[in-house]
Amino acid sequence: MLNLTPTQIGLGVGGLIALTGWAIFILVPAWASYGRVWERIAASFMSLFMLATLLGVGVGLGAIFLLVYTHNV
């Protein structure tokens, strides 16, 4: 049995929500926009950059929030 902390569970749920949002709002429309298989694969690969940006912005905002919060305590 895994001994997960609430922080680990929260990070896992947040990551799952971000991945699901990327798949629904970015990957599926990119896949459906093209007819040829190679175009769909290329669009899916390019959407990975959107996922990286989404995760990077989330981590950056979280880090800023953490820095501001720890300096005000």
The pLDDT of residue 73 is above 70 = no
* 10 to 14, 27, 37: CA distances (angstroms): 6, 24, 37
6 lies in some domain: no
The type of residue at 23 is: A
In total, how many domains does the chain have? 1
Domain span including residue 67: 14-72
Note if the pTM is more than 0.75.
Answer: no
51 lies in some domain: yes
* 2 to 15, 47, 49, 51: CA distances (angstroms): 18, 33, 32, 28
1 lies in some domain: no
Task: Provide the greatest CA pair distance for the chain.
Answer: 56
% of the chain beyond a pLDDT of 90: 68
The pLDDT of residue 71 is above 90 = no
> Virtual CA dihedral for 51, 52, 53, 57, nearest 10 degrees?
110
9 lies in some domain: no
The pLDDT of residue 42 is above 70 = yes
7 lies in some domain: no
33 lies in some domain: yes
